[in-house]
Amino acid sequence: MKKVLLCATVAFHFKSFHLPLMAWFQKNGYEVHVASGGTDKLPFTDRQFELSIARNPLDRENVEAYKQLKELIKEHNYDIIHCHTPVGGVLARLAASRVENKGKIY
């Protein structure tokens, strides 16, 4: 099965802006994973990972979030990595750039 990872600083971002996209991915045969801060339960999501992403780009918590993202990307071998929000998006792009078998990054 194809997999997509959507990443943002907070889960609420997906609830506000991306539910139709997440539903489309599921309808078209993707396993949908979401990585973000916050505990909002999201529909159209097969796996949800809570990360310690901070809104301040200089916060030390983002180092741990980067490591968590890198491990997720290695472990799940995503076909697509969809990046959102300034901090969450940058962390996902940086983590994916360090993984050899990453998917397409958007």
Q: Give the tens place of pLDDT for each residue, 33-85.
A: 999 998 899 999 999 999 999 999 999 999 999 999 999 999 999 999 999 99
Domain carrying residue 39 = 2-105
For residue 37 the two structure tokens come to 């801060």
Domain count of the fold of the chain: 1
Nearest to 8 by CA among 27, 26, 22: 22
CATH of the domain at 78: 3.40.50.80
Inter-residue contact 32 to 18 (CB < 8 Å): no
